[in-house]
Structure 1
């Protein structure tokens, strides 16, 4: 065991060296610093600054969390973090921990690297694929965000939820990235509502999706993601019941995405409550997210890396002010 140069800002931590086939990897803990949220629905962020003299390739993620404590976690790659404090509030509309400042997760250059929820297991990337961070990358910091929907199970010493990053210094020929699709909008009381989003791909490279993840709160029944060619030729990327572990699931059929294709997602929400439920940050609100993890040749991931729409009732796949899509697979997009 030896000290890794990975962490610069907050000291040197011993890394564990292991063999993954022929690739030599090490593991680094990106964990909450014994955080103690006082209120449910708190969002906390904590950063690490990367060694910018070397380039690293993240090739796997081992979560250190339970759904009893962390509702969900995100790892952001940033050029600059929202703060350089060891801990800060980072939920824009969520409750605020007294005594801590409030900032976004990233100050600039934000991109999602990893997401976790519902006791999802570890994730390993395909051979030759890695998230490029450090010197030869725009990612100079990693920021962990944890959403504490409840504080009932927080240990007395504080919470250390987070993820162990598996990384290597050996150059990986394929760059990993994540495209996040989401919506605004609302679901009226006692209704079934489709939350839909789509964006046209602008990158000129061939994009290779290899994993997907879904995320809603309590009303989600099915989340599906699609590649749409020529606005009417639909191919399923993946779909899941979002109440299952919110891990990155492998894409079952090999596919490529190219410039001019549309990536589309739908969340089917069933609201049996006596009130309208809006998209928001707390567990009493809803979220509609579909994550597509992919690889491309070259050093840079695809931009833009997010795709958000207004959502229902004013935006839909085929609406006049919507995505302009046709031949919509309504039944398949909303059933498992």
Structure 2
């Protein structure tokens, strides 16, 4: 399993460490709610959302004296992107343009409506800083709306100002001066100081001078025993991801997983090695997430005052697994790393304990079998009311969401269904990138009740693969999971995972044997030859096949197919068009 590699656990009322990564020597024009470094020592971004006006204010700083641009992209590239582009001329005047990219060529000026508006700008010390705003939804077909969930941001800059003597406002090609990030624009926070926790007890899980393989990408897994020096239960109120300063270019993501409470290990010989090589000894350590971090993520997390992460005493989790993903593209040998994670313990227990709920597909061949060479394959999962009736609490409150697939995943969403009608998205990662996964603060906490239903969809692209992709924990395998951070923590209900039923597989395989297992299924699947006709048939099979649902430790639930439900109605677009205070040419 690859963790929900994320900007660390972002919670309701949570504050997150971000501002110390800012490179710009220029002070922003105002105090913003969110900020992030887009590219080290090159580009920084601040933003605040005005929910009443339904608009967002950005401030972009880039190390150049030419033009700078920020775009909202539907799929992560230039095609279809909605772009705000600006510069400061020699006289100090700010220019700003609303542009649209129909392809990968130079974006054109949007002359239909102007929806990006500059507020302030300056050029100083080799940097250009421009403050600007736009509506969350401009109601313009040439724009991209900023939705609750993940957003694809692109940025670029040039070394010179555009040529305004031309009617098209010629901008010179940015070459490699560009980048992209997937960011939940409505789901960020502001930093606490680590000094706030300096007088607290803590425990940590770290590697010990681990040699990093001289390969481009590697995963290291190490099992740790839970701390035994806390005889009474304690609550962690904050967490720090520890990345060695010299290895920031090396550590791509890390995460701490809870091992199954029934897992048994030799404490004198705990599993430690390349994840795929020791998978047989760590398969019980994919129960749930305890901590996550990824490139561009937040290193310090403070949990909301209402809840804490439990440890010690009679807490059921006795082992954890630290999973490290190293990115070593230069294949540098003999590099060593001691990164890990630290938990700060509060002096008092909090009202609730935090837990994770895993919703989606079982991690098996019977749940996930994706044809090769397809641009879009849909996998639907369902957690029915018969499952959530087993909640041990009358209500649980969802604080944050972490969508998770492996390399082929392109989109993940989960909808809350009540009385066969969709109430809302729990979270919609319409734009998903394995390299930039986020645990996302929900705009507002969402309550789940026994009897509620959850529909999860994962969308994959396998155009870069020539063989079938099956469900599993290895990097080349796939997953479809949505982790939800919630309170109060339930002991017997940590997951609700579905798969294609045994009966459905036997029917399509045309077999009647009483015995049936993943190994037998895997051999059959790997013999399939993918034609366009078979791909269409396969998608139809997945759309209509009966399902088996395993919810927590309870009995298997059988569904004749994914149930039908009344979906959300399209929202009516409305916007407040602001007046510009700056030159928009």
Provide, for residues 24-80 of structure 1, a one-character-per-residue CA deviation record: whole Å limited to 9, x for no partner: 744432112233365755441230332351211122222234584345423315546
Aligned mates of 1:81, 1:35 — CA distance in 2: 25
How big is each residue's C-alpha offset from its partner over 1:118-151, in whole Å with a ceiling of 9 and x where there is no partner? 4421432211201222114223x34133154656
CA offsets 1:202-256 (integer angstroms, 9 cap, x no match): 2142100001111222322221122211233342111223326323211113321
- Cα drift, residue 292 of structure 1: 0.4
What does 1:274-289 correspond to in 2, within 5 Å?
274-275=465-466, 276-289=468-481
Q: How does 1:73-88 map to 2 (within 5 A)?
A: 73-76=255-258, 79=261, 82-83=264-265, 84=267, 85-88=269-272
Partner of residue 301, structure 1: 490
SS at match of 1:19: helix
Deviation string 1:164-216 (CA, Å, 9 cap, x unpaired) is: 21222411111110011232312222231122222231214210000111122
Q: Are 1:225 and 2:414 an aligned pair?
A: yes
Please show how residues 186-197 of structure 1 align to structure 2 within 5 Å: 186-188=369-371, 189-197=373-381
TM-score, normalization by structure 1: 0.75
* Greater strand content: 1
**1:223–1:268: 8 Å Cα contact kept in structure 2?**
yes
Q: How many residues align?
A: 304
CA distance in 2, matches of 1:154, 1:71: 18
Q: Which residues of structure 1 form unaligned runs of 5+?
A: 1-16
Please report the TM-score for the alignment, with normalisation by the length of structure 2: 0.46
Among 198, 201, 204, which residue is 1:29 paired with?
204
Name the counterpart of 2:549: none
Equivalent in the alignment of 1:256:
447
> Are the equivalent residues in 2 in contact too, given 1:55–1:169 (CA < 8 A)?
no
1:7 aligned partner:
none
Match of 1:242 in 2: 432
- The SS at the match of 2:211 is coil
Highest relative contact order (Cα 8 Å, sep 6+), 1 or 2?
1
The alpha carbon displacement at 1:157 in A equals: 5.6
Partner of 1:266 in structure 2? 457
Which structure is larger by alpha-carbon Rg, 1 or 2? 2
Aligned to 2:297: 120
Q: Structure 2: which 5+ runs fail to align?
A: 1-193, 362-366, 501-537, 547-558, 572-585
1:169/1:154 CA distance change after superposition, 3 Å: farther
Specify the alignment match of 2:12 in structure 1.
none
The correspondence for 1:144, drawn from 301, 318, 321, is 321
Alignment RMSD = 3.6
Asked if 1:175 is matched to 2:353, the reply is yes
- Is the 1:59–1:125 contact (alpha carbons within 8 Å) kept by the matching residues of 2? yes
- Give the distance between the partners of 2:336 and 2:253, measured in 1 at CA: 16
2:421, 2:544 → 1: CA distance? 11
Q: Distance in 1 between matches of 2:316 and 2:292?
A: 19
Identify the range of structure 1 (234-243 vs 81-90) with the bigger mean alpha-carbon deviation. Answer: 81-90
1:304 deviates by 1.9
Once the two structures are overlaid, the 10-residue window that deviates more, 179-188 or 169-178, is: 179-188
* Deviation, structure 1 residue 266: 1.5
Deviation at 1:305, TM superposition (A): 0.5
Query: Relative to 1, partners in 2 of residues 1:156 and 1:37: Cα closer, same or farther, differing over 3 Å?
Result: closer
Q: Secondary structure at the match of 2:414?
A: strand
How many Å separate the matches in 2 of 1:220 and 1:255? 25
Choose between structure 1 and 2: higher helix proportion.
2
What is the CA–CA distance in structure 2 between the aligned matches of 1:205 and 1:30, rounded to whole Å? 35
Match of 2:226 in 1: 49
